[in-house]
Amino acid sequence: MAHRRKRKPSGSAKAGTATPPAASLSLRNGLLTLLALAYVALVLWADVFLDHFMQRPMFHGADLFKFTTWFLIPFLFCLPRMDWGYYGIKRWVRFDYFILAAAILLELLAVFSVRLFPTLRDALPDLRNESLVTITLWNLSWLIGWEFMHRYLLLRRLSVSFPRFGWLLIPIYEGAYHLVWPTLLMPAGMVIFSLIATYWSLKRRNGLLPFLAHLVIEFQLTVFLILA
């Protein structure tokens, strides 16, 4: 009587039969991350290009280019799988409130220190004759997108493809964008802020605290430029 050939257990199949889905997912994630990196680099470069060579599209003080390319397009891209808890406080711990309070105080000191650096002060705009509506629309039109594009779109993609050190590319992007300033104080300050804010966002899976900290320093700086 011929021996029957034993059937292999389903779990003992060659690894190669299970790899295509995982490999396909990894490739997809890698391509999406490269796309995000390329997109952010492109729109940041295009924004600098606009300042020097073209008329910037504005609406009552709001920067339509920044709002569209930094926020609207990335938001629509992320919308199908949007993590709405990313901008809530449920992922905060008690110590995070102290971090925010300390950040506000340090930012206030940083704003007052602008007087000590004439080159930096001269590079900042004179807002004494601008209306509050214009100033508010201007700040919101770029700030919301800046934080969303860097600490949601880009950070989430980098944390998937390069979970250990990928987040460090974000301070590099943010610092490089500010290299056009006539003093290195601005890009240096941006890199320091970004290192802390991006690392916190990575660990908490939350972008609210960096957004609030950024919003506060822009408000403080606006008041300083109006009254100075």
Q: What is the mean pLDDT of each run of 10 residues along the chain (228 residues)?
A: 49 47 82 96 96 87 96 97 96 97 96 93 91 94 98 97 96 97 94 98 98 97 92
Domain count, the chain: 1
For residues 75 and 39, give the distance between their C-alpha atoms in angstroms, rounded to a whole number: 13
User: Containing domain of residue 126, as a range?
Assistant: 29-227
Q: Give which of 69, 40, 27, 73 is closest to 154, Cα–Cα.
A: 40
Residue 175 lies in a domain: yes
The pLDDT value recorded for residue 3 is: 47
Residue 89 lies in a domain: yes
Residue 108 lies in a domain: yes
Residue 122 lies in a domain: yes
Residue 160 lies in a domain: yes
Residue 22 lies in a domain: no
DSSP secondary structure code for residue 63 in this structure: E
Residue 16 lies in a domain: no
What is the secondary structure of 117-166 as a DSSP string? -HHHHHHS---TTS-HHHHHHHHHHHHHHHHHIIIIIIHHHHHHHSTTTG
Q: Give which of 135, 146, 141, 144 is closest to 223, Cα–Cα.
A: 135
The pLDDT value recorded for residue 54 is: 84
Residue 18 lies in a domain: no
The pLDDT value recorded for residue 20 is: 54
Q: How much is the pTM? A: 0.88
The pLDDT value recorded for residue 55 is: 86
The pLDDT value recorded for residue 7 is: 52
